[in-house]
Amino acid sequence: MKYYGTKNNKDYGFYEENFENAIEITDEYWKNLLMKQNEGKIIILYENNVIAVDETQYSKENGVWKKLSDEETTAKQLKIQNAIRAKEIQDELYDLDKKRIRALAEPSLKNEDTTWLEYYNSQIIQLRKELNSITE
């Protein structure tokens, strides 16, 4: 048997020994929870049960886990996706800034009508528009 709970009212975890307010679980269920955690799920205490869930389906408010509605889940997923994309855009902008510096120092044409600097600037403008649209 394993026990799930907190001894300091802050950090939850699994324990070998029983203690006040701990939830008793079988070794088999404990292994199942750990497998789900390895798959990216989080382990929470919800309605006096220990469960593994997708982080986007639950929210912790005032120390208590709450199941989100479908609309709230969708909004949370979108927020996470936007944060990931915003980081990708920032990385791309950083790389393009380095390329623009090189294009200033070594002017040359990308094609007959466009310099490398103009090309990089146009990419930066598009990325900044996308970044603004997902961070508003």
For residues 109 and 76, what is the distance between their CA atoms, to the nearest angstrom?
A: 44
pLDDT for 22-42, tens place per residue? 999 999 999 999 999 999 999
Tokens of 3: 């026990």
What local confidence, expressed as pLDDT, does residue 1 receive? 92
Tell me, yes or no, whether 56 and 79 share the same domain: no
Indicate the residue among 37, 66, 95 that finishes a domain.
66
Indicate the residue among 46, 66, 86 that finishes a domain.
66
Backbone angles phi, psi at 59, to 5 degrees: -140, 140
Tell me, yes or no, whether 81 and 110 share the same domain: yes
Tell me, yes or no, whether 51 and 78 share the same domain: no
Indicate the residue among 15, 33, 66 that finishes a domain.
66
Indicate the number of domains in the chain: 2
Q: Which residues of the chain carry a pLDDT beneath 70?
A: none
The range of the structural domain enclosing residue 32 comes to 2-66
